[in-house]
Chain A
Amino acid sequence: MPQNYVPIFIFAFVAFLVAAGTLAIFYLIRPKNPFKTKLMPYECGITPFDSARGRYTIRFYIVAILFVVFDVETIFLFPWAVQFKLLGLFGLLEMMIFLGILIVGYIWIWKKGALEWV
């Protein structure tokens, strides 16, 4: 039913007001006294000598890719779980085949060392 989804926007708007509204109201009474040293990025007292947006380890990308694969798989399981009893043995068998393929892939990435964090 569409009316079930209308409150999402109201709630998001209220939460936006809580965050942005309070920030805006107290902007008027906050002290504003910026100077150069205060606005430097925090680096334990050392003057930063390069931009922070450099290169970082490739592991984070691997985690992201694996997440996409496994999360899509989890989402695929939800419709089956809802209709679990109705689909019965046929659904169970189909899902076992799907999960079997997935588990083979999982063992493969484990053996390949994609899950190691070195």
Chain B
Amino acid sequence: MLDAITGYLNSGTTPGEYGSIFWATIYILVITIGISLAVIAMNWLERKILAHMQIRLGPMRVGPHGLLQPFADALKLLIKEDIIPEEADKLVFWSAPVVVTMTAFTTFLVVPFGRTHAVTDMNIGVLFMLGISSLGVLGIIMAGWSSNSHYPLMGSLRSSAQMVSYEIAMGLAIVSAVLMTSLQTGTGTLSMIGIVEAQNAQQTWFIFKFFPLGFIAFGVFAIAMVAETNRAPFDLPEAESELVAGFHTEYSGFRWSLFFLAEYAAMLAVSSIAVTLWLGGWMRPFPNFLSGPAWETAFSFIPALALFVLAGMCLLGTVRMPKIPQMRVQTVGLGIFGTLLGLVGLVLLVPAVRERVQDIFWFVTKVAFFMYLYIWYRGTFPRYRFDQLMKVGWKVLLPIGLAVLIATAMVGLYPELAAAVVGVVQ
């Protein structure tokens, strides 16, 4: 029993491949808690960053710099009255948020946070993620239809039309990345870990492969994924000015926050696909020409260093806090938060932890970059009109996706193709 548990630690594979249900469950629980914390952090960051983009302060009252605001909101939503409209279809109304949450979380099953840090490694990983995340449309339609109200129905119809339209462009972009995995070894792979290892073997991130083809495919995906998650500037399903709140107009309290949780989890999931397919997954920058033990050691200190910088910023904020009695609690709170961050940084200096945490750090950093992009888009771009949205999906992204796919295939087979053409001409 104990051997089965400890044996996994030295196996160098994922729990799913090793067949250890125990470790798979541990990973699943850690990922579930991690996503929930990430969503809470995103809630705070989004308000703060948006506020600073609009030269406002954002939440400042609950905790130092509003750090405890999302927790206060979560508590409020948990103990708020839960209204189910009289004419709603009760069972469907009840199960819609649960379905949305289940699909959004289950996609994280195959996300590779590191070579061994994924719950399982399926040989259909990318297809699994695409499939499960498009099941989310089902939950949205259920929510809109069961509410029996005009705004939710319109919102859910729009939302599903938009999601299915952009899924095609997304699929085509993914195909052209999968195609690149087969270039060196002959047979490619759909496994998320396999795709990152193919990028490692080919010594390049796929975004820079066949420049600019990889970059264009990535661009198509990056646009489609914003539309797929119903975020600004494609947030028509919840366009406040016309549809109140879209498909979740009738939802209140914790049911509403489940939709919120699922939306952010879906954003994290599609960002993970983009990072895995084009940005080298868990690989650190420049593993090819900054190689060697000296660079390895230098790069392994970066996670701790990043935390020390954050801790230093918090402590600087503590020192610069106005010295008045009303702010004393906030000052002490910020000081404690900074100290905690520093302590976590110290833990990351331990060699055994340092080696294991590197992969996760780079993966999370790349995903965090996409999360920042989402907020940035929301702060800068005006919302599209619905006909423009469909036009972009069907008439711009789809042809570009197809053209990039064909061009990638031609360039990938260039030697054979050129020889065949020369043969035909002669």
Minimum Cβ distance to chain B for residue A64 (Å): 7
Is the Cβ of A7 less than 8 Å from the Cβ of B15?
yes
The answer to whether the Cβ of B106 comes within 8 Å of any Cβ in the partner chain is yes
CB pair B98–A3 under 8 Å, yes or no, is: no
Q: How far is it, in angstroms, between the C-alpha of A29 and the C-alpha of B81 when the chains are bound?
A: 9
A7 pairs with B182, CB closer than 8 A: no
Interface-forming stretch among B208-216, B251-259, B313-321? B251-259
- CA distance in complex: A34, B254 (Å): 17
> Which residues from 384 to 403 on chain B have a C-beta closer than 8 Å to any C-beta of chain A?
386-387, 390-391, 394-395, 398-399, 402
Question: Chain B 39-80, CB within 8 Å of chain A: the 1/0 string?
Answer: 000000000000000000000000000000000000000111
CB-based contact B161/A52 at 8 Å: no
Q: In the complex, which residues 145-169 of chain B have their Cβ closer than 8 Å to any Cβ of chain A?
A: 145, 147-154, 157, 160-161, 164-165, 167-168
Interface set, chain B 1-44, CB cutoff 8 A to A? 15-17, 19, 21, 24-25, 28-29, 32, 36
Tell me the nearest residue of chain A to B172, going by C-beta.
A74
With contact pairs A16-B98, A78-B190, A82-B178 given, residues A10 and B28 touching in the complex (Cβ less than 8 Å): yes
Q: Taking the complex as formed, is B171 at the interface, i.e. its CB lies under 8 A from any CB of chain A?
A: yes
Looking at the assembled complex, report how far the CB atom of B254 sits from the nearest CB atom of chain A, in whole angstroms. 6
Contact B171 A74 (CB under 8 A): yes
Q: What's the Cα separation between A79 and B23 when bound, in Å?
A: 32
Chain B, 378-426, CB within 8 A of any chain A CB = 386-387, 390-391, 394-395, 398-399, 402, 405-406, 409-410, 412-413, 416-417, 420
Partner pick for A8 among B25, B101, B109, B258, CB 8 A cutoff: B109
- Residue interface mask A68-110, B partner, CB < 8 A = 1: 0011001101100111111011001001100100010010001
Is A92 a contact of B409 with CB atoms below 8 Å?
yes
Find chain B residues with CB under 8 A from A63 CB.
161, 164-165, 390
| Shortest CB distance A95–B (Å) | 7
Residues of A within 8 A of B157 (CB): 56, 60
A51–B101 CA distance with the chains assembled, in angstroms = 28
- Is the C-beta of A47 less than 8 angstroms from some C-beta in chain B? no
* Residue pair B187, A19 in contact (C-beta under 8 Å): no
- Number of residues in A with C-beta < 8 Å to the partner? 70
C-alpha gap A26/B76 in the complex (Å): 11
Known pairs A78-B190, A85-B183; list 18 more (Cβ under 8 Å).
Answer: A11-B106, A14-B25, A14-B32, A19-B101, A30-B253, A32-B81, A34-B83, A41-B87, A41-B150, A41-B250, A74-B168, A78-B175, A81-B179, A82-B190, A84-B409, A85-B187, A92-B410, A115-B394
Interface positions of B (Cβ within 8 A of A): 15-17, 19, 21, 24-25, 28-29, 32, 36, 78-88, 97-98, 101-102, 104-106, 108-109, 119-123, 127, 145, 147-154, 157, 160-161, 164-165, 167-168, 171-172, 175-176, 178-179, 181-183, 185-190, 244, 249-250, 253-255, 258, 386-387, 390-391, 394-395, 398-399, 402, 405-406, 409-410, 412-413, 416-417, 420
